[in-house]
Chain A
């Protein structure tokens, strides 16, 4: 028995009318912002070797991809992310180009298995940019400024929050406590789900009850500049301290730019730690139950394809953004001129097209209506 042709595979869908318009609007607006910061567009292959993504994203993430076998028996995958492919290009195609490299993209990615049930899509469009070859706070700030401008330009009628942390804070703590891989994963899990009492219990076997409680308290809440003083009382190892200093100098720039109402420090953000090596951030928008985007510094990714090179970037989910915008009735999703009428049913085809061509030459919108045509 064959499936009816009306059925669409789960996780895929059509977009039309206002939704399609919203998607185009998000894409155009974002690409214009990237261009405004001198980012060059890059189009990566839709299908690539599975091993590339396994190296770049780690096994767990890569295994979510749609996989297929090439004619020579090698495993291929529909790209589950874009960053990995960009990192490889940076060390191969663009190896000799002057640094920093500024690259941006808008591309569909595919996942056979979704990460959570709230995220049903198996075809997603990601919009993002990567800054390669710049290992400075200014580089981190550039990415955050672009993300902020992008959200502002979309005129979302809702508040957004970007939460900041640094992967080295957690790594320093793990090193300091002398945790093995299994204990590290457990600590990461407890911090990630903010299971504070369990976290305290867990830490009690490695450090004093006082320190455990202070640490649990620290990751409980996000906050602003006051977080740094509190964090330094609890976290004393050199590695984490250096990360805190770095984060604080970034925070000072954010404050001086007047951005701080949209930013928060969240030391409990410990996701994807194998990938990130410095700044990490997440983007949340009011009215959206899921994360809108994320980013950070990943200085060791390019090393898998050539040499280690500092890199920082971010990605936002076009689908979620467009969905929000399409729902906001007052938002203007088009840069089009006024809707101009075109033809009437009484004209013959020749006249109709003469009129239409004239209007098009003036860049007006036309729509050919009428029975006769």
Chain B
């Protein structure tokens, strides 16, 4: 039986994450069926499960997966109670406010904010004392200001291309986001040796990559 279960987010971070794990010595079998939702690594000691990014914190918090990889955006939004021992320095992007023009400096009027991240958005504007109406959407958030559903959006910005295509630009950056290794609190104690080994292997890879990046001309 596998000693460790790791939740991998499907989609945006998946390939980079698997690449990182492979560099740390946890390789998936070469001929993996991409529709398979769970599979063992080559050694048979680690099981990978493939889930929706927003479900990674759920699996790890319940201890179904011992560890997981998740973007900080999703982690902030989930408010899950997890250990976050290592930033993996992949999938770097920003959680930002974007709007058609500069947002008017008017703290009194209600701002309509469309977002996939209602908690992050309401916390951010709440701290500034800006009254907002949060409109929760599950995709194509950039359309909301264009069509007049919202004044601005809070969303993940990678290159900014989608924003530009919709005539939006970043007005404020809320936080930098990157993929994070998260660990279940009980697993961290009960499987301490295996998890420590995993963290230190991943940390080694992350450091090497940082050195490689820095030495690049």
A2 at the interface (CB under 8 A from B): no
Interface residues of B in 121-162 (CB under 8 A from A): none
Chain A neighbourhood of B196, CB < 8 A? 220-221
Q: Are A288 and B63 in contact (CB under 8 A)?
A: yes
Which residue of A has the minimal Cβ distance to B191? A286
Interface residues of A in 154-193 (CB under 8 A from B): 159, 161, 163, 193
A135 to B113: give the CA distance in the assembly, Å.
Answer: 55
By the criterion of a CB under 8 Å from any partner CB, how many residues of chain B are at the interface? 25
Q: Are B85 and A289 in contact (CB under 8 A)?
A: no
Q: Are A194 and B189 in contact (CB under 8 A)?
A: no
Q: Are A289 and B184 in contact (CB under 8 A)?
A: yes
Q: Are A290 and B186 in contact (CB under 8 A)?
A: yes
Chain B neighbourhood of A282, CB < 8 A? 189
> Shortest Cβ distance from A290 into chain B, in angstroms?
6
Q: Are B187 and A264 in contact (CB under 8 A)?
A: no
A327 at the interface (CB under 8 A from B): no
B190 at the interface (CB under 8 A from A): yes
Which residue of A has the minimal Cβ distance to B192? A222
A28 at the interface (CB under 8 A from B): no
The digit string for B178-193, where 1 denotes a CB below 8 A from any CB of A, is 0000011111111010
Q: Are A284 and B58 in contact (CB under 8 A)?
A: no
Which residue of A has the minimal Cβ distance to B184? A289
> Shortest Cβ distance from A235 into chain B, in angstroms?
21
Q: Are A290 and B185 in contact (CB under 8 A)?
A: yes
Q: Are A289 and B83 in contact (CB under 8 A)?
A: no
Chain A neighbourhood of B81, CB < 8 A? 115-116, 118
Q: Are A289 and B187 in contact (CB under 8 A)?
A: yes
Q: Are B190 and A193 in contact (CB under 8 A)?
A: no
- Known A-B contacts A116-B61, A290-B63; the reply to A159 vs B80 at CB < 8 A is no
B62 at the interface (CB under 8 A from A): yes
> Shortest Cβ distance from A160 into chain B, in angstroms?
9
A195 at the interface (CB under 8 A from B): yes
Q: Are B189 and A163 in contact (CB under 8 A)?
A: yes
Q: Are A289 and B62 in contact (CB under 8 A)?
A: yes
Interface of A is mostly: loop
Q: Are B189 and A118 in contact (CB under 8 A)?
A: no
Chain B neighbourhood of A198, CB < 8 A? 87
- Known A-B contacts A117-B61, A289-B64; the reply to A220 vs B186 at CB < 8 A is no
A291 at the interface (CB under 8 A from B): yes
Interface residues of B in 188-206 (CB under 8 A from A): 188-190, 192, 196, 199
Chain A neighbourhood of B13, CB < 8 A? none
Q: Are A195 and B62 in contact (CB under 8 A)?
A: no
A221 to B80: give the CA distance in the assembly, Å.
Answer: 22
B54 at the interface (CB under 8 A from A): no
A140 at the interface (CB under 8 A from B): no
> Shortest Cβ distance from A193 into chain B, in angstroms?
5
Interface residues of B in 65-101 (CB under 8 A from A): 78, 80-87
A264 to B183: give the CA distance in the assembly, Å.
Answer: 18
Q: Are A193 and B82 in contact (CB under 8 A)?
A: yes
Q: Are B84 and A288 in contact (CB under 8 A)?
A: no
A352 at the interface (CB under 8 A from B): no
Chain A neighbourhood of B189, CB < 8 A? 161, 163, 222, 264, 266, 282, 284
Interface residues of A in 196-233 (CB under 8 A from B): 196-198, 220-222
Q: Are B87 and A197 in contact (CB under 8 A)?
A: yes
> Shortest Cβ distance from A267 into chain B, in angstroms?
13
Q: Are A193 and B83 in contact (CB under 8 A)?
A: yes
> Shortest Cβ distance from B44 into chain A, in angstroms?
20
A-B contact pairs, 30 of them (CB 8 A): A115-B81, A116-B61, A116-B80, A117-B78, A117-B80, A118-B62, A159-B190, A193-B83, A193-B84, A193-B85, A194-B188, A195-B84, A195-B85, A195-B87, A196-B86, A198-B87, A220-B196, A220-B199, A221-B192, A222-B192, A264-B189, A266-B189, A284-B186, A284-B189, A284-B190, A288-B186, A289-B61, A289-B186, A290-B185, A290-B186
On B, residues with C-beta under 8 Å from A are: 58, 61-64, 78, 80-87, 183-190, 192, 196, 199
8 smallest CB-CB distances across A and B, nearest first, come from A289-B63, A116-B81, A118-B61, A194-B85, A193-B84, A118-B62, A284-B186, A284-B189
Supply 7 further A-B pairs (C-beta < 8 A) apart from A117-B78, A197-B86, A220-B196: A118-B63, A197-B87, A221-B196, A222-B192, A282-B189, A288-B63, A289-B186
